[in-house]
């Protein structure tokens, strides 16, 4: 804690919460908060004695940030630092932390029905959420299957695609086509479809084989004017691969428009359209993993709209619940769904989780959709996108910058580090420096990106880019 406190230098124009201020209007709740706060002083020590954190080398990791509260785009630590959440807490938060409308929806649902098993039972939030999602998704998607998180949404899509073919008697379709730099999650199937990396290496013998192809460089978007313009060429590598292997492939799986964890690569929409054309030509299912891109991140409600293309299966999570609770959806077309309808029980989709379609998760998801509609959130994302783009321009062409990219509310600066990618040592050093300034950014190796909740203001965006402009050149010089 001391260490974190001593890092607090830069301040935003926001006062830390006052201990005397009543937060709830209920004195007894305030007293409980204070009692709770008094137990927090040893939070980091307690954490270190009993917690194993994700993606973290516990031997060398710095102390975790002790976060006790959220407020719009800010995370508030136990000692009152207000830290701007520049990555929406791993890309999940959309309408700000502790949004009162979402909080109320959660409280109301908790008094109605907290959970019921979803095999043989149903409940209003699950049905309403499915109806409202399908009304917004591409029309080809007509059925909603619930699970718990992004990785399970992907596992479900892979299993559905595979069994779609076996139920139809085509059991030779045992593999998938996935893209280089893909990231689809951490369960075994999702890892198999992801690019081989530091994250998957330990499990390589457990993973199933997939075919892999690269996005042609022409189809990658950049703010560099020399790389502007439409891409029209054929997808030669993918086409050749499909010409050879399409009868062994069940589906093509993609992160439409923005390949995030694998390097923050932005596509030109034509790539999406060409892929759909190839899937149609070779009779393959197209799985759109919109776990990260869904719910406005790329400037449209769903990234497939940029094509526009209609996938056969779509995976949603993260922003689905406004970032409140773990819930996921895999939506399927009639064609996929119909292949499972049979008097033969073996054709059933045998997959489910204890918390499938959790009513609390569905209720907050509905509240999140209400906010999108009632508060013109997509228009706000458009304004955030313009602001981010205007600030990114100053990075184009700088000697320490390899590329600058932007899509929707996501701004990306790839640094010139000699191609170390995710392992670039500059990433953790930048993150630590940003945190000293009360800014939470987690560069993806040599790639700094900003992906704020949609409640961020122009002043805050300016402040974030001022910090990036201030911190990055200095650290890049030191790294030389
Ligand atoms: C595109 C994509 N798919 C799947 C996942 C996995 O989601 P989760 O972390 O909820 O399992 C992620 C997570 O970042 C993702 O970005």
In this predicted model, what pLDDT tens digit does every residue of 302-313 receive, in sequence order? Answer: 999 999 999 999
Q: How far apart are CA 259 and CA 267, in angstroms?
A: 8
**C-beta pairs of 73-79 under 8 Å, 24+ apart in sequence:** 73/97, 73/452, 73/453, 73/455, 73/456, 73/460, 74/14, 75/440, 76/16, 76/17, 77/4, 78/1, 78/37, 78/40, 78/41, 78/43, 79/1, 79/4, 79/5
Confidence of residue 37 (pLDDT cuts 50, 70, 90): low
Per-residue pLDDT band at 10 (split at 50, 70, 90): very low
> What percent of the chain clears pLDDT 90, i.e. is strictly above it?
86
pLDDT of the residue at 296: 98
Q: State whether the beta carbon of 192 lies less than 6 angstroms from ligand 1.
A: no
Residue 128 has pLDDT above 70, yes or no: yes
Question: What is the pLDDT at residue 480?
Answer: 73
Count, residues in the chain: 480
Which ligand 1 atom minimizes the distance to the CA of 152? Answer: 11
Does ligand 1 have an atom closer than 6 angstroms to the CB of 294? no
Supply the DSSP symbol for 139.
T
- 150 C-alpha to center of ligand 1: Å? 4
Strand pairing report for 175-179 and 141-147: unpaired
Answer yes or no: is the C-beta of 444 below 6 A from any ligand 1 atom. no
Which of 253, 317, 329, 407 to mutate for ligand 1's pocket (most ligand atoms within 8 Å of CB)?
A: 317
255 lines ligand 1 (CB under 6 A): yes
How far is ligand 1, taken at its centre, from the CA of residue 112, in Å? Answer: 30
226, pLDDT greater than 80: yes
- Asked whether 242 and 210 are in contact (CB, 8 A), the reply is no
194 in contact with ligand 1, CB cutoff 6 A: no
| pLDDT computed for residue 418 by the predictor | 76
Query: Is any ligand 1 atom within 6 A of the Cβ of residue 189?
Result: no
Tens of pLDDT along 457-480?
Answer: 999 999 999 999 999 999 998 877
pLDDT digits 0-9 by tens, 39-84: 555 899 999 999 999 999 999 999 999 999 999 999 999 999 999 9
Which residue from 54, 88, 158, 184 has its CB within 8 A of the most atoms of ligand 1, so it is best to mutate? 184
Q: Domain limits of the chain?
A: 2-95+378-479, 103-373
pLDDT of res. 81: 97
Q: Is 317 in the pocket of ligand 1 (CB under 6 A)?
A: yes
- 205 burial via Cβ count (<10 Å: 0-12, 13-18, 19+): exposed
Among 64, 225, 54, residue whose Cα is nearest residue 150: 54
CATH class of 103-373: alpha beta
The predicted structure's pLDDT at residue 401: 97
Supply the pLDDT for residue 36: 55
pLDDT in tens, 340-377: 999 999 999 999 999 999 999 999 999 999 999 999 99
State both tokens at 215.
Answer: 């996005």
pLDDT tens profile 306-334: 999 999 999 999 999 999 999 999 999 99
Q: Which residues pair with 329 in a beta bridge?
A: 146, 316
Ligand 1 within 6 A of CB of 154 = yes
Widest CA span of the chain, in angstroms? 71
Query: Which residues on neighbouring strands pair with residue 249, listed in sequence order?
Result: 175
Give the pLDDT score at 33.
58
Q: Which residues of 91-121 are buried (b: 16+ CB within 10 A; e: fewer)?
A: bbbbbbbebebbeebbeebeeeeeeeebeee
Ligand 1 centroid to residue 6 C-alpha, Å: 33
Query: Which of 38-42, 233-237, 277-281 is predicted least confidently?
Result: 38-42
Mean pLDDT computed over every residue of the chain: 92
Total-model pTM: 0.92
Q: How far is the CA of 276 from the centre of ligand 1 (A)?
A: 22
* CATH architecture observed for domain 2-95+378-479: Alpha-Beta Complex (3.90)
Q: For the residues 425-451, what does the mean pLDDT come to?
A: 96
Note the pLDDT of residue 425.
83
Q: What is the atom index within ligand 1 of the atom nearest the CA of 154?
A: 4
Closest atom, ligand 1, to C-alpha of 260: 16
Strand partners, 316: 329
The response to whether residue 151 sits with its C-beta less than 6 Å from ligand 1 reads yes
Q: pLDDT tens digit string along 198-212?
A: 999 999 999 999 999
- Span of 9-23, 227-241, 379-393 with lowest mean pLDDT: 9-23
Classify residue 76 as left (phi > 0), alpha (psi -120 to 50) or beta.
Answer: beta
- pLDDT tier at 3 (50, 70, 90 boundaries)? very low
The preferred substitution site among 90, 199, 292, 410 for testing ligand 1, maximizing ligand atoms within 8 Å of CB, is 292
Expressed in angstroms and rounded, the spacing between residue 340 Cα and the centre of ligand 1 is 26
**Model confidence at 15: pLDDT above 60:** no
Q: Distance from the CA of 183 to the center of ligand 1, in angstroms?
A: 7
Residue 7 confidence (pLDDT): 28
To test the pocket of ligand 1, the residue of 318, 329, 442 to mutate (highest count of ligand atoms within 8 Å of its CB) is: 318
CA–CA distance, 225 with 397 (Å, rounded to integer): 10
């Amino acid at each position: 804690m001391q260490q974190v406190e001593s890092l607090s230098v830069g301040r935003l124009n926001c006062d830390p919460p006052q201990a005397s201020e009543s937060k709830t209007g209920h004195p007894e709740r305030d007293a409980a908060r204070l009692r709770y706060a008094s137990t927090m002083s040893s939070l980091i020590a307690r954490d270190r004695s009993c917690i194993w954190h994700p993606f973290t080398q516990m031997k060398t990791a710095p102390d975790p940030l002790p976060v006790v509260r959220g407020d719009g785009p800010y995370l508030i630590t136990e000692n009152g630092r207000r830290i701007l959440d520049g990555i929406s807490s791993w890309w999940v938060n959309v309408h700000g932390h502790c949004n009162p409308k979402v909080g109320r929806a959660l409280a109301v649902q908790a008094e109605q029905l907290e959970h019921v098993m979803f095999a043989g039972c149903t409940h209003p939030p699950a049905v309403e959420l499915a109806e409202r999602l399908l009304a917004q998704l591409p029309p080809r998607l007509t059925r909603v299957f619930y699970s718990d998180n992004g990785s399970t949404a992907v596992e479900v899509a892979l299993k559905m695609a595979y069994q779609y073919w076996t139920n139809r008697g085509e059991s030779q379709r045992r593999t998938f086509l996935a893209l280089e730099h893909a990231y689809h999650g951490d369960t075994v199937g999702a890892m198999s479809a992801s690019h081989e990396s530091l994250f998957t290496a330990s499990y390589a013998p457990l993973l199933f084989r997939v075919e892999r192809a690269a996005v042609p460089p022409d189809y990658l978007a950049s703010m560099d004017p020399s790389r502007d313009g439409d891409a029209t060429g054929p997808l030669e590598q993918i086409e050749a691969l499909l010409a050879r292997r399409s009868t062994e492939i069940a589906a093509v799986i993609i992160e439409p428009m923005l390949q995030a964890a694998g390097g923050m690569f932005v596509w030109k929409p034509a790539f999406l359209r060409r892929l759909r054309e190839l899937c149609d030509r070779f009779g393959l299912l197209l799985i759109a993993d919109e776990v990260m891109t869904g719910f406005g991140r790329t400037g449209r409600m769903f990234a497939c709209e940029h094509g526009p293309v209609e996938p056969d299966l779509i995976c949603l999570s993260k922003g689905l619940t406004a970032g409140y609770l773990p819930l996921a959806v895999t939506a399927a077309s009639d064609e996929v769904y119909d292949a499972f309808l049979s008097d033969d029980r073996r054709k059933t989709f045998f997959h489910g989780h204890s918390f499938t379609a959790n009513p609390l998760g569905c209720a907050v998801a509905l509240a999140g959709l209400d906010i999108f509609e009632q508060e013109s959130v997509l228009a706000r994302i458009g304004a955030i996108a313009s602001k981010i783009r205007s600030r990114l321009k100053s990075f184009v062409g700088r000697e320490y910058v390899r590329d600058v990219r932007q899509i929707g509310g996501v701004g990306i600066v790839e640094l010139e580090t000699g191609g170390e990618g995710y392992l670039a040592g500059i990433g953790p050093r930048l993150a630590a420096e940003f945190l000293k300034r009360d800014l939470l950014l987690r560069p993806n190796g040599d790639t700094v990106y900003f992906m704020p909740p949609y409640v961020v203001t122009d002043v805050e965006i300016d402040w974030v880019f001022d910090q990036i402009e201030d911190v990055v050149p200095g650290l890049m010089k030191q790294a030389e």
